[in-house]
Structure formats: structure tokens, C-alpha cells
Structure 1
Amino acid sequence: MSALAVLAPRLGSGPRLDIDLGAVAANTRLLAGRATGELMAVVKADGFGHGALGVARTALAHGATRLGVTSLDEAWALRDAGLAVPLLSWLNPVDADWATAAARDVEVAVPSLEHLAAVAAAPGRHRVHLHVDAGMARDGADPACWAQLCRAARRAEQRGEVEVVGVMGHLGCADDPSDECNALGRTRFAWALETARATGLRPVDRHLASTAATLTDPRAHHTMSRVGAGLVGIDPSGTVALRAGLTLTAPLVSVRRVRAGTAVGYGHAHRTAHPTYLGLIPLGYADGLPRPASDRAEVLVRGARRPLVGRISMDQCVVDVGPGGAEPGETVTILGPGDDGEPTAADWAGWSDTIEHEVVTGLGARVRSRT
């Protein structure tokens, strides 16, 4: 028969996400030192899961000169917080609130003729960055339409409807500096700039590089680099040791002694090989622990890595704490910088067949956060 110990609830005893803004500061300084032009701090997806406002303020204090986000909703939150620096939003539907963007001095990306027409028709004078597809077949104008977009933007500029302040693109393979895709992307971006200038446009801001290219390819820097993942310690190129910016911990809700052969979790996907103790962690895939990491991931218990066993459930997972056991209420470390042997976001990405970006941005709202 198994023995079960349950922790009595107490205030502040739940999972917590601790953000290290000192790491963000150090990473920003390093990236600003690598960039040959300005540094835009990209704080989309709530600052890659690290808190957009904290990351933004820290980055601006340590070398970044402006901010970038995807949606206008993300831009409003930064303006509401009093951040008055240059701010670019680059992923919006055609019917977005362009008038408010102009009124709140938010620069916007224009990836199509339809977007340009909608922006130009909205009240206000709009500062825009024409966005070219540099080889990803994703966001950005198709090169076949680029010259037409530039001519239309120049006419809108002459009418006083827009001011084309930038041209932007994105490299699809910058995480592998040797990939020939990067040379093709740089060439297409150079062509896009020449085409824009030939129509009479004079974009002051020209930006192609994100974190990986900022670290590995000065040819892609132009007047500005956009960095987001690097701010929080993720280097997609794997060439620089950046500092991780978060630590996720949780208490053991309960600990039980079990026999060899005990089935664990949904589908009985795991059976214990020996008598051991199992600890229950109140985190699951609704909190951002990837389900594909089931029976592969580890957490830190009493200074040692111990395996998660069975399937990760929506709200909980189980750790085999070993024959020495553990006490209910003890804190286990789910992920962190790795300084004390705890799993890192890179470890979780490997166990889940994904990337660190997905791990850190997937951490759920139920996890309490503090800096």
C-alpha cells in the first residue's frame, strides 16, 4: 500500500516565475555592442514571456534606443505605461486602428498595397516602414509587387498621407550563419532598398537583422538591428553565451511511497521500475510545460535532477524523487539558467522537439510572476 502526504495550503506556496532583469541588462549591453547601428528591443509576446514592460525599460536603460512589437494592442500597452520612445508595430490586419497608431506616434509596417491604402486613408500622418519579403514567403511584400508598393508609397508621401521612414525584412536562416539563404536574403534586401530609392523614397531606418544575424553577420545590420530572443538569453545561432532571464519553481503538493510496477498518470504510460517516492507538481501543459516532454523531462529536487514520469497533464505532473524521498512543500526547480544544475529552456526545448522561444513564451498566466 502506498503512503500519501499532502501539504496544507498556505499563502504564497504556489508555483512562481522569477524574472532576472539583470540578465536582460547584460544581454542588452552585449547585443548593443555587437550591433553596428541602433538596437531595437523587441518585446512582443509579453517580452518573450518575461514581462514586456520590465524587459522594455531594462533594455532601454542598457543600450536599446527603441522598441518593437507585433500587434498594435501590444503597442498601446507600452504607450499606456508612459514609454515615449520610437515604437514600431509590424503585424496587423488591413483594418487595424491606423488612426490611433498615428495619434499615439506608433510607427507601422506596410507589407502590401492593401495595407498602404488603408493606412493612407486613415486620419493622421503615418510613419511607415515598408516591409519586403526577403525570402521566407511569410510576412512582407512579394518582390513581384515591391516596385509597385514603393511607387504607391511615394505618391502617398507626396500627398502628405504617410512618411516612409523605414524599410524592413527578415532572414529565414540566420540561426545557421553558413546557410546560403542568408546571402540571398541580403541580396534581396539590398535590391529592395535600391528600388525604394529609385522611386524617390529616402528611408532613414533600414533593418534586416534579428538576434542571430546581429551576433554573427554584420553585413545584415544596416542602420538598426531588431533583437528579442537575445534580450532574454536565447541565441538561435548558438555562438554566444547569453544569460537566461527566468526561473520557474513549484512546491511539491504531495509525496507518496510506491511499489515497483506502479502505473503513473493517464494511459499508464509509465510504470516504476523499483520502489520509490513520487512527488506531485502543480504545473502542467496549461501552464506551458510541453506535453511532448512527458517521460523525457527532468526537474531539480534537492540539488539533483530527477525524472518526470508519466504523461504531463493539464494541471500537474509527477516526478520520481527517488528512494530517499522528499517532503511536501519542498521547492523543485522546473527550469532556470542552469547555474545550479537545473534544467534550462534549451533542455526543455530538446525534450519537446521545439525551440527555446516556444518554451519561454508558452509559460501560462496561472504562473505567478515577480522580478
Structure 2
Amino acid sequence: MTCPRVEIDLAKIEHNAHQLVTLLSGRGIDVTGVTKATLGSPEVAMAMIAGGVARLGDSRIDNLEALRDAGIQAPLTLLRSPTPDQADRTVACASVSQVSELEVVKALSAAAGRRGVTHGLVLMVELGDLREGVLPGDVLDLARRISRTPHVTLAGLGTNLACRAGVVPSTDNMGELSMLATLLEGELGLHLPIVSGGNSANLAWAIAAPAGRINDLRLGESILLGCDPLTRMPLSSLYTDAFTLVVPVIESLAKPTVPRGATGEAAFGVPMPMRERGTIVQTIAAIGRQDVDPEGLTPPGGVSVLAASSDHLVLETPHRLAPGVELRFGLDYSALLRAMTSPFVVTTFAATKHHPPSLSPSLPPIANPTPAILRSLSSPLTPRSARRHQRAYAED
């Protein structure tokens, strides 16, 4: 089958989840496994659960609904504030939402009341990265209002760093979040079960410093790709190749290295300068910017990415390749996110035993992956729209 696809090794995802859960549990921190980069894949979610995550989180309601429709019973957290008109769907599929606006709190309260449930809220705090969250000076007032609102409960505090401005999690900002949690508990006479310090970018801080009140991290990239988002460097003991993009060749011809004729802007702005290097083998793979971030691809040895248009990935290869030959690429987070979202890229799953990567003393080796994960999960290539309705696991 020669269409673009992402091959996902579920055993490697389970391994990575287990390693991180084990590491952080020694510091009193639970892991929320984040599925948004895989379009809320139930198969990936189950691998994370098998690896020991305490709950699952996703920023898209559609993805959380797909997890519930697949029969996943783990607690689900909506990692982006819903709009007020999404409150009913949110309460129906998630047990906790991240919020920062009173109007959203009121909408969730009304939706929870109609369902006869209590919905948990994690109040997000802005600690420097300038994405979402209320300023620290406004936390107590909004928390007090939440505590007086029926059908919702203040389940915790959270923050997010290293996403917009690249602010690094540190002893200072994590200490500030801890102090705010203690302040709210003292002022409001309640207990906050969740103090969520952030995402995979928090790992270096969590390993090096005391956690204080932080007892939850929301991990996606580190579990899926085995790397530190702050540096994109591999994390010891984790697999970095759980995802592989496989793309067929559609053309491979000898061509000059510089264009002929007057030039202007290309399809995506000003093209990169092209240096005269004589004739090369220029190979085109059947994927483009509509489907993947070309800057986030790691090509196979001897192959380099020259450019990409909407539907063509232009490569330099050592020799001509026959149309239909498949090339295999590694992906960074941006490339993975876009490939998993594209309806033109399909997904296959595998779960096979592997020798673990080199282990460090701080990350103990994983036990054998669970039988459910090691069951044969190679499935026919499936368009993204149909994949939501698949069940890759038999009931135990």
C-alpha cells in the first residue's frame, strides 16, 4: 500500500509512559497523558494507560468524545477552556476542565446541573509565558467565586509554560504556583487535589528540584517522542522512534540545482536561495505542507529535504528511486501533529517487544508490556475519519 501513513509502535509509547510515570511518582507527581498530537487516538490512549498514567487529557472536545466512544473509562481532562456553548459537550465527556473565565465557569455549572453531576475545574494561572490563565493577583477572587458556584468544584490550580514565549519552568515559577495553592486552601478552607505544573517542558525542573505542591504534569511530547521540548534532545531511557512517517516516491529525475527564468515568490513565500551544484537527483515524495511540517522531518540517511509545496516534498537522493518506493521519516512534534490531523495520511499500529534503549539510573527499566498492548494490532490502512470508530483492542 503506497499512500502516506504514520506507523505507530504502541509498545514504545507504553514503555515511555511507564518510564516517566515511574520517575515522577518518586517525586509525588502523577502523569496526565496528553493525546492531542495523535488526534485523540484510543489506541495511543490505551498504551499510555497501560504505562500507568493517572488520567488522560486533550485540548479538543472531539478527541475526548472519541476516547469515551471507544470505551475508555480513565478520567478525562479538557486541556483548553471550552467556549460557553461547548459546556454541555464538555461535561458529558470530561470530568475536569481547565478554566480562566467566570462566564465559562457559569456555563459549565449550568450544564453540570442539568446532568445532575459535579464538574471539576482547574483554575489556570498566568506565570509568565503569556498564553492562558488569570494573573496571580486575581486567582483568589476567581477561586472564591468558583467555590460559591453550584455543580462545579475547584479541583485544582494549573499553569502552562514554554508554549508561547518559551518561558522555562523553574524553582521560582513552580514555587509561586505552590504558594498560590497553599494560599487558596487556607483562605477558602478547601483541599486542592490537583496542582498541575505544566507539560513535558517541566521534566528537567521536576528531576532537579523538589516538587513543592506540584503533583501533576501533563505529558504528551515526552511520552510520544521521547524528547525534552526545551531542547528537543532525546531523554535517557526513552524511545524517540515510536512514530514513523512512510511516504511513496512519485518522481525521481536528474535535474539542475538552480531555477531557470525570472523568479518571484513561490507558493509559500520567498524560496530558499539555491546554490549552483550542477545536476542532482531530485526526488519527489507524495506529501506536502498540507499534511506535514517539512521542517520537522528527519529523512533517511543520504537523503535531504530541499523544499515542500502543498502536495510535494522535494528531496535530494543519492540515486534515482522507482515510483512507489517508500521512504521513512522521523517526525518532531510539529510534523507529528500535522500528519496525524491530515485526512490524507493514514495510520497503522504495531506493538512488538523491543530491547529497551540505554538506561540511566534515574529511569528504571520497564517490565514486560501488557498482553493487551502486545496483541497483534496491525490493522488495515484507515482514513482518519473512520479511525475514530475503530476498536483496536478486544475486551479482556
Q: TM-score range by the shorter chain?
A: 0.7 to 0.9
The CA deviation string for residues 252-308 of structure 1, in whole angstroms up to 9 with x for no partner, is 212223467675996796476233433221111111133xx4xx98733xxx42233
Q: CA deviation at 1:16?
A: 2.0
Contact 2:37 2:220 in 1 (8 A): no
Change (3 A) 1:256 1:144: same
State whether residues 72 and 92 of structure 1, in contact with CA within 8 Å, keep that contact through their aligned partners in structure 2: no
RMSD (CA atoms): 3.1
Matching of residue 287 in structure 1 with residue 291 in structure 2: yes
Q: Distance in 1 between matches of 2:286 and 2:177?
A: 48
Larger Rg computed on CA atoms: 1
| TM superposition score normalised by structure 1 | 0.77
Q: Please point out which of 9, 21, 24 is paired with 2:10.
A: 21
> SS at the partner of 2:293?
coil
Match of 1:88, SS state, is: strand
Write the letter of the residue equivalent to 2:292: G
How many Å separate the matches in 2 of 1:332 and 1:137? 40
Q: Which amino acid aligns with 2:299?
A: V
Tell me the secondary structure at the aligned position of residue 97 of structure 1.
helix
Is contact 1:72–1:101 with CA below 8 Å preserved after alignment?
Answer: yes
**CA–CA separation in structure 1 for the residues paired with 2:19 and 2:235:** 10
From the superposition, tell whether residues 257 and 211 of structure 1 become closer, same or farther in structure 2 (CA, over 3 Å).
Answer: closer
Q: Deviations over 1:73-95 (max 9, x none)?
A: 32212111111111111313441
Q: What residue in structure 2 maps to residue 299 of structure 1? A: 299
Structure 2 distance, partners of 1:200, 1:316, is 59
Could you say if the C-alpha distance between residues 185 and 253 of structure 1 is closer, same or farther in structure 2, counting changes exceeding 3 Å? same
- Residue 183 of structure 1, CA deviation: 2.8
**Match of residue 201, structure 1, among 176, 183, 190:** 190
Q: 2:353 aligned with 1:369, yes or no?
A: no
User: Equivalents in 2 of 1:116, 1:216: separation in Å?
Assistant: 31
Specify the alignment match of 1:357 in structure 2.
333
Structure 2: 5+ residue stretches without partners: 350-396
1:42 is matched with which residue? 34
8 Å Cα contact 1:110/1:130 also seen in 2? yes
After TM superposition, give the deviation of residue 69 of structure 1 in Å: 1.2
Alignment of 1:77-92 (within 5 A): 77-92=66-81
The aligned amino acid for 1:240 is L
Q: 1:278 aligns to what SS in structure 2?
A: strand
* C-alpha distance in structure 1 between counterparts of 2:191 and 2:94, whole Å: 20
Equivalence for 2:320: 325
Match of 1:3 in 2: none
Q: Are residues 192 and 332 of structure 1, via their aligned partners in 2, closer, same or farther at CA, if it must alter by over 3 Å?
A: same
Percent identity, aligned pairs only? 23
Q: TM-score, normalised by structure 2?
A: 0.72
Structure 2 CA distance for partners of 1:109 and 1:96, relative to 1, 3 Å: farther
CA separation of 1:144 and 1:256: change in aligned 2, threshold 3 A: same
Within 5 Å, which residues of 2 pair with 1:229-248? 229-233=221-225, 234-237=227-230, 238=233, 240-241=235-236, 242-244=238-240, 245-248=242-245
Q: Give unmatched runs, 5+ long, in structure 1.
A: 1-11, 337-344, 346-355
Query: Is residue 148 of structure 2 the alignment partner of residue 155 of structure 1?
Result: yes
Q: Give the aligned partner of residue 125 of structure 2.
A: 132
Counterparts in 2 of 1:161 and 1:183: CA distance versus 1, 3 Å: same
Q: Kindly state the Cα deviation for residue 22 of structure 1 after the two structures are TM-superposed.
A: 1.8
Residue 173 of structure 2 corresponds to residue 182 of structure 1: no
